[in-house]
Amino acid sequence: MEKQWEVASHPKVWHPKSIEEAWTLKQTLCADGVFVAGGTLLRTQWENGIAPFPAHLINVSGIRACHELSFSPEVLILGSGMPLQYARENERIKRHLPLLTEALRSVAAPAVRRLATIGGNIASRLGDALPALLVYDADLIWYDGAKERREKLSDWLRLSESAKPPEARLLIRVELPLGHPPLADGETRAGEQAFQPEISVYTKVGRREGFTPSVVTIALLGRVSASGHIERLHVAAGGGQTVPLRLEAVERACRGEKLDRRLAEEVYAQVLEEFQPCGDRFASADYRKRTAANLIAAELWRACKAHDEERE
C-alpha cells in the first residue's frame, strides 16, 4: 500500500503536442498511463478509490486538434478538449444547439466547468450532457493509432455497457448535424433563424436545485407537422449511475402519430417498459423510471397544447 501511494503521489505528466504523439505514449506506458485533460472526473474517482492513481498522466489539453470549434452548413464540430464553460457560453452553440447549452448549465459549478471537458463528460458514460448529445444524433470521432473512426454516440454507449473491455482509442471530436446553415457570430440576415423544432426539451431532476448529481435526466427533440402529427422525435433518458440511452421504442411508437393526450398516455406506459434505470440509496429504480415517464409524457402534452394554441 505504501509503495502504491508513493507512486500515486508523484505521477509523471507528459505533454504531447499531437494526437499521434499522445497515442505513442499510451502504447508505451500501457495501463500505467492515462489520458487526461481537465481531470475533474478522474480526480473524483481517484479520491473515492474507484480507480487507481496512475504513475503517468498523458495531458492531451495542449493538442490543438482537440480544441476545434467549427461550423458548416451540415455539421457543428466540438473538440473533445473543449471546456464545458466555453461551450456553454458560445453564442453559436446557444443559437443552434440550445439543449446542449442547457445541459452544460446543470453540470457542477462554474469553476469545475472551466476545467472539465466535453470529452471527459462523454467518457464518463454518465455525463449530464449525454442526453442532449444523444437527441442531436452526435457522432464520435476516435483515433485508433492508424486512422480516424466514426461511431454513433448512441452505439458507443450501448456497446460500452457490455462486459468486453473497451478498445484503446482517443476521442478527438464530436460532430453534430445542423438543421440549416448557421450564422456567423454577431451576424443577422433577414428571414433566417436558427432551426427551431416544435419539441425541444432538456430536464435534469436532482436532489436539490443546483450543483447536484442527477436523479433523472431527459431530452426530447422533435418535429410536428401542421396537422399535429409527429414527423420525427428523438428521446433520451439517463441519470445517476444509469448510462443514458435513446428510447428507440418510444420514438417508433410516436412516429407519424397524432400529438394528443392519448399519445402522451401511451408514451408514459412505453417509457415504463423501456427505460431500465439503476437504483441507489438516494432513489430507487422504480422512482427514477416513473419520474422519467412523467417528465416525458408531460412534455409531449405541453407540446400538444402549444401546437393547438398556435393554430387557433
155-194 pLDDT, tens digit per residue, is 999 986 554 445 578 999 999 998 643 444 444 444 434 4
- Tell me where in the chain the CATH 3.30.43.10 domain(s) lie: 10-59
- Tell me where in the chain the CATH 3.30.390.50 domain(s) lie: 199-311
pLDDT for residue 287: 95
Say which CATH class 10-59 falls into. alpha beta
First-last CA distance in the chain: 71
How far is it, in rounded angstroms, from Cα 45 to Cα 177? 33
Work out the pLDDT band at 295, boundaries 50, 70, 90: very high
Number of separate helices (H) and strands (E) present in the chain: 13, 12
Tell which CATH architecture fits domain 199-311. 2-Layer Sandwich (3.30)
How far is it, in rounded angstroms, from Cα 173 to Cα 158? 19
More confident residue, 10 or 295: 295
pTM of the entire structure?
0.87
- Please say if the pLDDT value at position 231 is more than 60: yes
Q: CB within 8 A of 57, min separation 6: which ones? A: 11, 12, 13, 14, 33, 34, 36, 39
pLDDT for residue 102: 93
pLDDT for residue 183: 42
How far is it, in rounded angstroms, from Cα 77 to Cα 193? 20
pLDDT for residue 179: 67
Candidate from 73-77, 108-112, 209-213 with smallest mean pLDDT: 209-213
Q: CB within 8 A of 287, min separation 6: which ones? A: 215, 279
The DSSP output letter for 163 is: S
* HSE-up (13 A, CA, CB side) for residue 86: 15
pLDDT for residue 6: 42
Helices 261-274 and 285-311, axial angle in degrees (round to 10): 160
Contact indicator for 23, 143 with CB cutoff of 8 Å:
yes
C-alpha 192: how far from chain center: 28
Mean pLDDT of all residues belonging to the chain: 84
* HSE-up (13 A, CA, CB side) for residue 217: 29
pLDDT for residue 222: 93
Distances (CA, A) of 135 to 40, 67, 218, 244: 25, 23, 10, 11
- Tell me where in the chain the CATH 3.30.465.10 domain(s) lie: 64-177
CATH number for the region 64-177 comes to 3.30.465.10
Residue percentage of the chain with pLDDT more than 90: 52
Work out the pLDDT band at 233, boundaries 50, 70, 90: very high
Average pLDDT over residues 121-140: 93
Candidate from 57-61, 199-203, 299-303 with smallest mean pLDDT: 57-61
C-alpha 264: how far from chain center: 25
How far is it, in rounded angstroms, from Cα 150 to Cα 171? 10
More confident residue, 306 or 213: 306
Average pLDDT over residues 42-56: 73
Distances (CA, A) of 32 to 25, 27, 58, 61: 10, 10, 10, 19
238-273 pLDDT, tens digit per residue, is 998 899 999 999 999 999 999 999 999 999 999 999
- Please say if the pLDDT value at position 11 is more than 90: no
Residue percentage of the chain with pLDDT more than 70: 81
Name residue, grid cell 480544441: 67
Between CA 173 and CA 97, with CA 242 as vertex, the angle to 5 degrees is: 40
